[in-house]
Amino acid sequence: MKVNGTHYRSIWLDPNDHMIVQIIDQRLLPHEFIIHELKTWQDGAVAIKDMYVRGAPLIGATAAWSMYLASLTTTDQAALKDIGEQLLETRPTAVNLRWGVERMLATNPANYRAEAEAICDEDVEISKGMGRHGLELIKEISTKKKGAPVNILTHCNAGWLATVDWGTATAPMYTAHEAGIPIHVWVDETRPRNQGAHITAFELGQHGIPHTVIVDNTGGHLMQHGLVDMCLVGTDRTTRCGDVANKIGTYLKALAANDNNVPFYVALPSTTIDWTIRAGVSEIPIEQRDAEEVTHVRGKDERGIHSVQITPDDSPAANYAFDVTPARLVTGLITERGVCEASEEGLLGLFPEDLRFETKT
């Protein structure tokens, strides 16, 4: 998508030096737009762990490119497997990380560059597919509202910066906007790292999509007053039964949506489905991050970008990065192949070939 009128993907191979992968340093958005270079697989691991890049599909793509960078120094399968395992330790919740590493390991190292490129190109097509299917849901609401703006609430950043391009939850928004359907997006700020306030608002603003940033606790109030027509979020891992792990706070939005009869949709590429597990709450590992992300907030003043402490010196803080929304609270899953019920039958109806996967439980 575009930044100041120029089209970018979120990750790409440097056209002038094929030993360098380039990314946008998302830690600095929206205040600074800096392109960062990955020269080794370890650079890729740091970029994932320290969240220069984030978002499930982009984490998978970065892992794939990190494996490509590793293959520039070794083509030994055992060494590459070991590197893959180290990459898997960077962030535990997004299943795309495992998917990206496993797909590269199943490839001849001589072809790693083509494979990483294919993963990125496929991700873009998958996002466009979610955009087309999600558009129909937005259209339906727009027709019922006789063309008045459709109010969509989203959480975290499930935008093009969380994927390679177009996004997951944002793909239907961009597609609707391009189709001339008026929409307005309520953007949860998404503490502690504020991916909504920093990144989703930046993305939507760059595309001229009307939006309003709200604090995370506002959604329930808006829904009680009829100000949300649909919730639309992404996911980092979806079980074969349709339970959905996403950024912490998503579950509370789903509860409020259920209480107020607001449809709650989750957009996901099939790469985010973990066919090996059924029960999200007990089986999805939830990343716990540094407490400093809770005790401090980052922002900009006239002297630059700073982080300031907002809690007492001695108060401990806990930082659970994701939560699980049970399938019963999800109205539908928007995938690249269509919209389905959040259930094993629903998912297998769209992806029958994945019956081949064995479940652990």
**35 exposure class (CB count in 10 Å sphere: 0-12, 13-18, 19+):** exposed
Q: Contact with ligand MRU (CB under 6 A): which of 27, 237, 247, 278?
A: 247
Contact string 34-63 vs ligand MRU (x = CB under 6 A): --------------------xxxx------
162 makes contact with ligand MRU (CB under 6 A): yes
235 makes contact with ligand MRU (CB under 6 A): yes
Alpha-carbon distance values, 361 to 94, 225, 281, 324 (Å): 20, 42, 13, 18
Select from 63-71, 228-236, 255-263, 278-286 the region that touches ligand MRU (CB under 6 A).
228-236
Q: Is 236 a catalytic residue?
A: yes
Which residues ranging from 297 to 336 are in contact with ligand MRU (CB under 6 A)?
Answer: 321
Give min distance, CB of 72 to ligand MRU, in A: 27
- Amino acid identity at 1: M
**DSSP letters along 29-95, please?**
TTT---EEEE-SHHHHHHHHHTTSS-SHHHHHHHHHHHHHHHHTT---HHHHHHHHHHHHTS-SS-T
Select from 5-13, 134-142, 162-170, 219-227 the region that touches ligand MRU (CB under 6 A).
162-170
Count residues contacting ligand MRU (CB under 6 A)?
16
Q: Contact with ligand MRU (CB under 6 A): which of 238, 239, 246, 331?
A: 246
Q: What are phi and psi of 350, to 5 degrees?
A: -90, -30
Select from 9-17, 28-36, 106-114, 160-168 the region that touches ligand MRU (CB under 6 A).
160-168
Give min distance, CB of 89 to ligand MRU, in A: 15
Q: Contact with ligand MRU (CB under 6 A): which of 107, 163, 194, 295?
A: 163
The catalytically annotated residue of 236, 243, 274, 323 is 236
Q: List 334's β-bridge partners, or say none.
A: 267, 339
Q: Contact with ligand MRU (CB under 6 A): which of 137, 141, 158, 329?
A: 158
Contact string 170-209 vs ligand MRU (x = CB under 6 A): -------------------------x--------------
Select from 99-107, 139-147, 155-163, 173-181 the region that touches ligand MRU (CB under 6 A).
155-163
Q: List 150's β-bridge partners, or say none.
A: 183
**DSSP letters along 96-126, please?**
HHHHHHHHHHTS-GGGHHHHHHHHHHHHHHH
270: alpha, beta or left? (left if phi > 0; alpha if psi -120 to 50): alpha
Residue nearest to ligand MRU (CB): 234
Q: Contact with ligand MRU (CB under 6 A): which of 66, 107, 151, 168?
A: 168
The closest of 127, 184, 169, 100 to 9, measured between CA atoms, is 127
State which residue, 142 or 163, has the beta carbon closest to ligand MRU: 163
State which residue, 64 or 80, has the beta carbon closest to ligand MRU: 64
Contact 33, 24 (CB under 8 A): yes
Alpha-carbon distance values, 344 to 192, 285, 310, 353 (Å): 32, 20, 43, 13
Give min distance, CB of 158 to ligand MRU, in A: 3
Distance CA 189, CA 187 (A): 6
Distance CA 258, CA 225 (A): 14
The closest of 265, 195, 270, 188 to 237, measured between CA atoms, is 270
Give min distance, CB of 117 to ligand MRU, in A: 20
Cis peptide before 57 (omega within 30 of 0): no
Contact 4, 11 (CB under 8 A): no
Contact 199, 154 (CB under 8 A): no
Select from 13-21, 72-80, 231-239, 336-344 the region that touches ligand MRU (CB under 6 A).
231-239
Give min distance, CB of 312 to ligand MRU, in A: 26
134 makes contact with ligand MRU (CB under 6 A): no
Residues that bind ligand MRU in the complex, under the rule CB under 6 A: 54-57, 156, 158, 162-163, 168, 195, 234-236, 246-247, 321
Name the residues annotated as catalytic. 236
